[in-house]
């Protein structure tokens, strides 16, 4: 009898917390808008959630005393410090266009003359910019007349991780499921198979914890670097096979996407400014604080700096040559930044510090002044 009573107490003590958490989970799913979830847009467009408001610090990346605000507007653009902004000139790309760790008003699209509305999104590929171009043309109050597009490193990551198949406009799907993952690391699993963002309770705890002050987001970068340091480097013979596959399989797929972008922009009356992507996959590099550079991983081995540079350069060359063949403006941003000491400009492999953002804008401004918007 005593054992039965003890078991009953144990079951009740376990059941009550479970029911409370379960009830809270149901309540939050019904009445709380989880900021870590995002409703996919039509036609596979991949843009930021509306009205985001985040504060982060650059601690560990580069020296900047004040916390950095990262906010988005109702039209999904990144806030530049000015509510009223001309949306006729847009900037599309991935995280190096987004520039989330650069202060508001100092991100390179903000510094262009004229300024460009920033629609960069971390993780975006070239195909995403095709769909974003169409979506923004159809949904902004004033359709854009000029757009910058910069992609290379994310496209390379796609190829190394997924091969050539699927990098095309047909049947493309790349929804932004978790718009705050870069800041909160909420795609991590707190129990096997379940991410923080999958649970409203865990999401609320994370949200409350991270919104009591500026967020420090250096840890995932350091962890990724440590993981790479523990890997062996890819041998030259295997690299040559990878390079040949990039040239023979992936670049033709990517070229078809570029051509589709060029054709679409022409049909919509949009002037394109194609940008090559700078990088720090070089030996002569002194980091602002710590070396956070990582290279792609192929078949369990990391690419060397030189190997990664070769592949990125091939993608940049394709962007440059394809645009020139069409008579489309192209700015060799990679070459421009290579004339500077790269360390103070890039706090990791590709992302800009405040100084780097300013130099990027300087490199672009001399050419875009000729645009008639």
Q: Please give the backbone phi and psi of residue 222, each rounded to the nearest 5 degrees, phi first.
A: -65, -45
Q: Which of 310, 307, 318 is nearest to 126 (CA)?
A: 318
pLDDT tier at 83, thresholds 50, 70, 90: low
| Four-residue CA torsion sign, 368, 45, 166, 292 | positive
Q: What is the pLDDT of residue 371?
A: 60
Q: What is the pLDDT of residue 301?
A: 96
pTM of the predicted model, to two decimals?
Answer: 0.90
Task: Assess whether pLDDT exceeds 80 at residue 6.
Answer: no
* Rounded CA separation 182/146 (Å): 28
Q: What is the pLDDT of residue 96?
A: 98
* Rounded CA separation 233/237 (Å): 12
Task: Assess whether pLDDT exceeds 70 at residue 369.
Answer: no
* Rounded CA separation 224/221 (Å): 5
Q: What is the pLDDT of residue 43?
A: 74
> What is the per-residue pLDDT across 84-100, written as a single tens digit (0 to 9) for each?
777 889 999 999 999 99
> CB-based burial of residue 6 (10 Å sphere; 0-12 exposed, 13-18 middle, 19+ buried)?
exposed
Q: What is the pLDDT of residue 345?
A: 97
Q: What is the pLDDT of residue 15?
A: 76
| Four-residue CA torsion sign, 252, 333, 100, 113 | negative
Instruction: Report whether the peptide linkage leading into residue 114 is cis, meaning its omega lies within 30 degrees of zero.
Output: yes
> CB-based burial of residue 260 (10 Å sphere; 0-12 exposed, 13-18 middle, 19+ buried)?
middle
- Segment 281-297 mean pLDDT: 95
CB 323 within 8 A of CB 329: yes
> What is the per-residue pLDDT across 132-184, written as a single tens digit (0 to 9) for each?
999 999 999 999 999 999 999 999 999 999 999 899 999 898 888 888 887 87
> What is the per-residue pLDDT across 302-356, written as a single tens digit (0 to 9) for each?
999 999 999 999 999 999 999 999 999 999 999 999 999 999 999 999 999 999 9
CB 131 within 8 A of CB 46: yes
* Rounded CA separation 35/149 (Å): 28
Question: How high is the mean pLDDT of the chain?
Answer: 91
- Segment 214-239 mean pLDDT: 92
- Segment 246-260 mean pLDDT: 98
* Rounded CA separation 35/190 (Å): 18
Percent above pLDDT 90 for the chain: 66
Q: What is the pLDDT of residue 132?
A: 97
Q: How many CB atoms lie within 10 A of CB 23?
A: 10
Q: Which of 141, 2, 164 is nearest to 77 (CA)?
A: 141
| Four-residue CA torsion sign, 268, 118, 77, 294 | positive
Q: How many CB atoms lie within 10 A of CB 358?
A: 17
Structure tokens at 281: 């996959």
Structure tokens at 55: 């504060």
Q: What is the pLDDT of residue 42?
A: 73
Strands of the chain, DSSP E? 53-57, 68-71, 89-93, 117-118, 146-150, 189-191, 194-195, 215-216, 271-275, 297-298, 301-302, 329-331
Q: What is the pLDDT of residue 175?
A: 84
- Segment 218-232 mean pLDDT: 92
* Rounded CA separation 356/346 (Å): 6
> What is the per-residue pLDDT across 22-79, written as a single tens digit (0 to 9) for each?
898 899 888 888 888 887 777 789 999 988 999 999 989 998 888 999 999 999 999 9
* Rounded CA separation 97/340 (Å): 19
Percent above pLDDT 70 for the chain: 95
Q: Which domains are assigned to the chain?
A: 42-368 (3.40.50.1110)
Across 38-42, 78-82, 127-131, least confident range:
38-42
């Amino acid at each position: 009898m005593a054992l039965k009573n003890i078991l009953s107490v144990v079951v009740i003590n376990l059941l009550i917390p479970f029911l409370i958490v379960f009830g809270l989970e149901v309540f939050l799913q019904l009445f709380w808008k989880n900021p870590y979830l995002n409703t996919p847009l039509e036609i596979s467009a991949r843009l930021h959630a509306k009205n985001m408001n985040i504060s982060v610090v650059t601690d560990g990346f580069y020296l900047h005393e004040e916390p950095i605000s990262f906010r988005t507007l109702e039209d999904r653009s990144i806030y530049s410090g000015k509510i009223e902004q001309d949306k006729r000139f847009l900037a599309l790309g991935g995280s190096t266009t987004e520039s989330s760790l650069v202060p508001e008003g100092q991100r390179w699209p903000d510094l262009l003359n004229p300024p460009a509305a920033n629609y960069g999104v971390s993780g975006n590929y070239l195909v995403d910019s095709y769909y974003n171009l169409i979506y923004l043309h159809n949904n902004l109050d004033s359709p854009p007349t000029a757009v910058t597009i910069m992609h290379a490193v994310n496209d390379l990551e796609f190829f190394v991780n997924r091969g050539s198949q699927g990098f095309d406009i047909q049947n493309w799907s790349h929804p932004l499921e978790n718009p705050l993952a870069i800041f909160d690391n909420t795609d991590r699993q707190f129990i096997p198979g379940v991410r923080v963002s999958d649970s409203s309770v865990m999401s609320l705890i994370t949200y409350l914890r991270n919104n009591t002050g500026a967020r420090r987001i250096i840890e995932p970068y350091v962890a990724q670097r440590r993981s790479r340091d523990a890997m062996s480097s890819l041998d030259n013979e295997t690299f040559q096979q990878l390079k040949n596959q990039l040239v023979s399989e992936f670049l033709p797929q990517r070229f078809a996407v570029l051509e589709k972008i060029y054709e679409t922009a022409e049909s919509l009356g949009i002037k394109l400014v194609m940008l090559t992507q700078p990088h720090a996959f070089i030996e002569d590099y002194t980091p602002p604080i710590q070396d956070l550079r990582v290279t792609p991983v192929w078949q369990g081995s990391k690419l060397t700096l030189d190997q990664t540079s070769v592949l990125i350069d091939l993608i940049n060359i394709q962007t440059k040559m394809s645009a020139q063949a069409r008579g489309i403006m192209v700015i060799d941003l990679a070459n421009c930044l290579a004339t500077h000491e790269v360390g103070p400009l890039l706090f990791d492999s590709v992302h800009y510090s405040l100084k780097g953002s300013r130099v990027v804008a300087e490199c672009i401004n001399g050419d875009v002044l000729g645009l008639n918007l």
